Amino acid sequence: MIAAIVLAAGLSLRMGTQKLLMPWGETTVIGAVLKALKDAGLSDIRVVTGGISAELQLYIQVVSGKLLYNKDFADGEMLTSLQVGLKDLDKEVDAILVVLGDQPQIEAKVVVEVSRRYEATHHSIVVPSYKMHRGHPWLLGQPYWDEVLAFKAPLTLRDFLNTHQQDIDYLTVDTPSILQDLDTPEDYARSKP
């Protein structure tokens, strides 16, 4: 079984406002992410949050499945959020998708393609690639979870992927959406539907 861990504990400092609740089409940034995951057929979705408003927490609980809190959100970057999600998984989950909460451009078809690649090959690391650049969401199988759980800052998820470069099964996709997220007001203005 494949679950999704949505990393949504960022402080939104460069955006200047809580970006996950910003409008995105008929929903919000986080709403678009969760909709794409559900449209791809995922039912086990865990959203890891940090210093966010009660309004956002309520919204995520209504729209998604399980809300988790990362008490170390302010200094652990994405690594500690992923660790919180991994510790909460049920035993029947054998792989997770690492999803960015600020990537409303995520496409359900890419989620499906990454999941199917794993199901066909059982490679424990599957990363989508567009024009030789790796993006999100990427898949991490159970054999690597203990290693990720043992990582400590200043190590990052990028360090993990760089260490296992030879183990990655790259899935070439035809969309730059895997490389896009929202960090600044300019990113939002340029990408907003």
The confidence score (pLDDT) of residue 53 equals 58
Residue ranges and CATH numbers for the domains of the chain are 2-179 (3.90.550.10)
The confidence score (pLDDT) of residue 19 equals 83
H helical segments located in 16-155: 29-39, 54-63, 77-87, 108-121, 145-150
The confidence score (pLDDT) of residue 20 equals 85
Token match 């993990």: residue? 160
The confidence score (pLDDT) of residue 74 equals 76
Quote the longest CA-to-CA distance of the chain.
Answer: 43
Q: Phi/psi of residue 88, each to 5°? A: -95, -5
Q: Which of 61-65, 74-78, 133-137, 180-184 has the lowest mean pLDDT?
A: 61-65
CA distance 168 to 148: 15
The confidence score (pLDDT) of residue 137 equals 97
CB atoms within 10 A of CB 19: 26
Contacts (Cβ under 8 Å, ≥6 apart) of 131: 176
**pLDDT tens digits, one per residue of 64-95:** 668 888 888 877 578 999 999 999 998 999 99
Look at 48 and 52; give whichever has higher pLDDT.
48
Look at 82 and 16; give whichever has higher pLDDT.
82
Q: Which of 139-143, 161-165, 186-190 has the lowest mean pLDDT?
A: 186-190
pLDDT, the chain, mean? 89
| Cα 81 versus chain centre, distance | 10
State the pTM of this model: 0.92
Angle between helices 29-39 and 54-63 (to 10 degrees): 20
The confidence score (pLDDT) of residue 182 equals 86
Contacts (Cβ under 8 Å, ≥6 apart) of 155: 79
